[in-house]
Amino acid sequence: MGTKEKVLIANGQGFWGDSILGPIRLVNEGPLDYLTLDYLAEVTLSIMQKLRSRDPKMGYATDFVKLIDRVLPQLMEKDIKVIANAGGVNPHACKDALLEVAAKHGIKGLKIAIVEGDDILDDLDNLMAKGEAFANMDTGAPLTDVRDTVSSANIYLGAFPIAEALDAGAQIVLTGRGTDPGLVLGPMIHEFGWKKDDFDLLAAGTIAGHMVECGAQCTGGNYTDWRRIPDMAMIGYPIVEAKPDGSFTITKHENTGGLIDVSTITHQLCYEMGDPENYLGPDCCADFTSVKIEQDGKDRVRVSGAVGSPPPETLKVSISYHEGWKASGQLTICGPDALDKAKLCAQIVWDRLAFDGADYSAEERFEEFVGSGVCHEGIAGGTNYDPVEVVLRMGVRGPDRKKVDRFGPELVPLVTSGPPGVTGFAGGRPKATEVIGFWPALLHHKYVSTNVEVFES
Amino acid sequence: MTKIQLNRIAMARSGDKGEGSNAGIMARSDAAYAFLKAELTEEVVKAHMAAINTGPVTRYAADNMRVLNFILHNSLGGGGSASLKTDAQGKTHGLAVLRMEMDVPQDVIDATPEPA
């Protein structure tokens, strides 16, 4: 446990696919104690399971290793600790790749910790035999409905194993599936010695984590009044200035772009929000309506007064399964009469496919006319609106891969055998890609056990 | 009463939430929040978003943030990964709510700063 009065914890990667510039600039452009990085979307672990089954050295976030290769000397020099869920389903392979990077830079004594216990794919049948139904949280259906096609199953672990890894002296903590806010709460538990029943403090850290977990989405990205946001190209990523009493300030490095005020922070609190009084997690239940959010100088927002309560007896589990196939493609249809011609194009494709025996039900086929108001259907644009051009997007889905693949070759012939003004075909014929379904479920905490292991370069 | 777009007195953020999406609507002033809490009901939002959301709508309020959070329970065209829609994650649903036209008392508008 440390004795600091203030700890700086940043998020440099808001999601799988976020810019590498975020974390690189956080390391270079100002003071920092902890850098947290989120690499896992809901179905990422399923893709990683597949990659590992083809190559036992894969199954983790390779982007993370590339990042560490670019910033490791600075991390060592500035003593910045890194917490990332980059381990995926193969944290040991990720650790081995990091040790190679350390060797390349001639760095000895780098401590890497692995947090394990989230991956329950091999235990599923055992747990189901013990009575855990893994009912789908959205639909109530039992997991037995899709058990044969399950490709990954991971518990959203909490922040205490991360704190344990930091207590053991780790400079890089690798996890698999955990909650996003846990990446930020973990170092607070480690630094301030918070206990498992300090529910108000754990709620404060959870709320801080939620505010920064999507990176630049709390510093002016995806913000309603976008004209207010200066220098979005060089947008700063968020930093939590955490204090032992649970109050904290969200800020960013000086001379970075973007904006932090009460409304940019409130925007992010709304993201993926359900019942604001009951934000459930593995460490506590946080009440978003309890906090006071106030401006505390330029690009600084102070948050205080968080109230928490005990977590539920169950932890959330992320399960993914094979849900069939889909294919989609697009063409641009130029006016005059762009929308009418695009509708005709779509009908031509469906008619030709039906002629060849490929009938798709209303559930299985899809068409939309981008530019005529597809995002705000029924509200703006619509059938009376004639844009200069529209993008015709069409697709099919279903359990039969061959039937889904039959669709692609009938799209491009429209260029020569449809109405005039059809263009913009690029990227090859649409091909069937796997649909990976997401199955959220619950597991009693008595079945959860975690393990922390430290390795050194 | 003056007819305005909701954007004049509120801001929004949205994203996916299971088979549906959530749209957090943030009032731009205390007066706007009091008005919206009374007028921007589940029924009003359900009717406005009917072509996008086929499921029920649930509303939560967070007074400390002047936020009304709407859950649109079936708005992604068959779930995030199976959906073929452009906006399969509901990223634009908040802006869709802000396009709503409402009759608002002039004193509420006067008490609310204009969007940038």
Give the DSSP letter of residue A232.
Answer: G
Residues A285 and A413 in one domain: no
Domain identity same for A71 and A180: yes
- pLDDT for res A2: 53
Per-residue pLDDT for A33 more than 60? yes
- Mode of pairing for the β-strands spanning A292-295 and A365-370: unpaired
Contact assessment for residue A217 and residue A18, using Cβ atoms and an 8 Å cutoff: no
Q: Are residues A102 and A209 in the same domain?
A: yes
CA distance A320 to A324: 12
* Strand pairing class (A111-116; A150-155): unpaired
ipTM for the complex?
0.96
Name the closest residue on chain A to residue B24, using Cα atoms: A270
Determine what percent of chain A is predicted with pLDDT higher than 70: 99
A99 assigned to some structural domain: yes
Please count the residue pairs, one from chain A and one from chain B, whose beta carbons lie less than 8 angstroms apart.
138
**Nearest CA to CA, how far is A47 from chain B (Å)?**
13
Band of the pLDDT at A333, cuts 50, 70, 90? very high
Residue A235 phi, psi (nearest 5) = -55, 135
Q: Who has greater pLDDT, A188 or A16?
A: A188
CB-based contact, B77 to chain A, within 8 Å: yes
Residue A227 lies in a domain: yes
CA-wise closest residue to A437 among A347, A322, A354, A356 = A322
Q: In this complex, which of A271, A272, A370 lies closest to B86 when CB atoms are compared?
A: A370
Q: In 10 A of CB B44, how many CB atoms?
A: 17
Identity of the residue numbered B67: V
Cα–chain center distance at B28: 13
The residue count of chain A comes to: 457
The answer to whether residue A148 sits within a structural domain is: no
- Is residue A419, in this structure, part of any structural domain at all? yes
* Per-residue model confidence (pLDDT) at position B78: 76
Q: Residues A221-234: what's their mean pLDDT?
A: 98
Inform me whether the pLDDT recorded for A453 exceeds 70.
Answer: yes
The model's pLDDT over A185-205, given as tens digits with 9 standing for 90+, comes to: 999 999 999 999 999 999 999
Q: What are phi and psi of A199, to 5 degrees?
A: -65, -35
Side-chain-side CA neighbours of A130 within 13 Å: the count stands at: 10
Structure tokens at A391: 């993008």
3-state secondary structure A261-316: CHHHHHHHHHCCCCCCCCEECCCCEEEHHHCEEEECCCCCEEEECCEEECCCCEEE
Could you tell me if A168 and A114 lie in one domain? Answer: yes
Pairing of strands B101-104, B2-5: antiparallel
Q: Are residues A165 and A20 in the same domain?
A: yes
User: B110 at the A interface (CB within 8 A)?
Assistant: no
Where does the pLDDT of residue A42 fall: very low under 50, low under 70, confident under 90, or very high at 90 and above? confident
**Is the Cβ–Cβ distance between A383 and A339 less than 8 Å?**
yes
For residues A217 and A46, which has the higher predicted lDDT (pLDDT)? A217
Q: Is the pLDDT of residue A90 over 70?
A: yes
Q: What's the burial of A121, exposed, middle or buried (CB within 10 Å: 0-12/13-18/19+)?
A: middle
Domain total in chain A: 2
Q: Which residues 6+ apart lie within 8 Å of B15 measured at CB? A: A271, A272, B21, B22, B89, B90, B91
Do A351 and A295 belong together in one domain? Answer: no
Cα B48 → chain centroid: 9
Are A395 and A265 contained in the same domain? no
Q: What is the pLDDT of residue A63?
A: 95
Question: Does residue A446 form part of some domain?
Answer: no
Asked whether residue A123 is domain-assigned, the answer is no
pLDDT tens column, A254-306: 999 999 999 999 999 999 999 999 999 999 999 999 999 999 999 999 999 99
How would residue A140 be classed by pLDDT, with cut points 50, 70 and 90?
very high
Inter-chain touch A397–B84, beta carbons under 8 Å: yes
Measured distance CA(A454)–CA(A168) in Å, rounded: 7
Mark whether A395 and A278 lie in a shared domain.
no
Q: Are A248 and A241 in contact (CB under 8 A)?
A: yes
Tell the residue number behind the tokens 């959330």, with chain if given: A316
**Which residues constitute the domain of residue A433?**
319-439
Q: How many residues comprise chain B? A: 116
Q: What is the pLDDT of residue B79?
A: 63
pLDDT, position A152: 92
pLDDT tens track for A340-378: 999 999 999 999 999 999 999 999 999 999 999 999 999
Q: Does A328 touch chain B if contact means CB atoms closer than 8 Å?
A: yes
Judged by CB atoms closer than 8 Å, whether chains meet at B64 and A291 is answered as yes
DSSP letter for B28, please: S
What's the rounded mean pLDDT across residues A238-251?
98
Both A297 and A337 in one domain: the answer is no
A415: domain CATH number? 3.30.70
- In the prediction, which pLDDT does A9 show? 98
Pick from A442, A398, A436: which is nearest to A142 by CA? A442
| pLDDT (0 to 100) of residue A167 | 98
Same domain, A307 and A383: no
At B48-90, the pLDDT tens digits run 999 999 999 999 999 999 999 999 999 998 766 788 999 999 9
Of the pLDDT bands very low, low, confident and very high (cuts 50, 70, 90), residue A384 is confident
Kindly state whether residues A87 and A18 are assigned to the same domain: yes
Is residue A108 in some structural domain?
yes
Mean pLDDT of A400-413: 96
Among A272, A296, A312, the domain-final residue is A312
CA dist B10 and B115 (Å) reads 9
- What does the DSSP 8-state code read for residue A236? P
Whether B24 sits inside 8 A of A378 (CB atoms) is no
Are B85 and B77 a contacting pair, CB within 8 Å? yes
Angle A209-A212-A216 from CA coordinates, rounded to 5°: 165
Burial call B81-114: b when 16+ CB within 10 Å, e when fewer = bbbbbbbbbbbbbbbbbbebebebeeebbebbee
Beta bridge partners of A454: A113
Give yes or no for a contact between B45 and B70, defined as CB atoms under 8 angstroms apart.
yes
Chain A 80-139, CB below 8 Å of chain B: which residues?
137-138
Asked if the C-beta of A227 comes within 8 angstroms of chain B's C-beta atoms, the answer is yes
What lies within 8 Å, CB to CB, of A134 at 6+ separation is: A124, A127, A128, A142, A143, A153, A317, A319, A439, A441, A442, A443
| Residue in A with minimal Cα distance to B115 | A225
DSSP A140-209: ---GGGTGGGEEEEEE-B-SHHHHHHHHTT-SEEE-SSB-TTHHHHHHHHHHH---TT-HHHHHHHHHHH
Does residue A93 sit in the same domain as residue A185? yes
- Asked whether residue A275 is domain-assigned, the answer is yes
Is the pLDDT score of A1 beyond 80? no
Q: Where are the domains of chain B?
A: 2-110
What is the pLDDT, as a whole number, of residue A49? 87
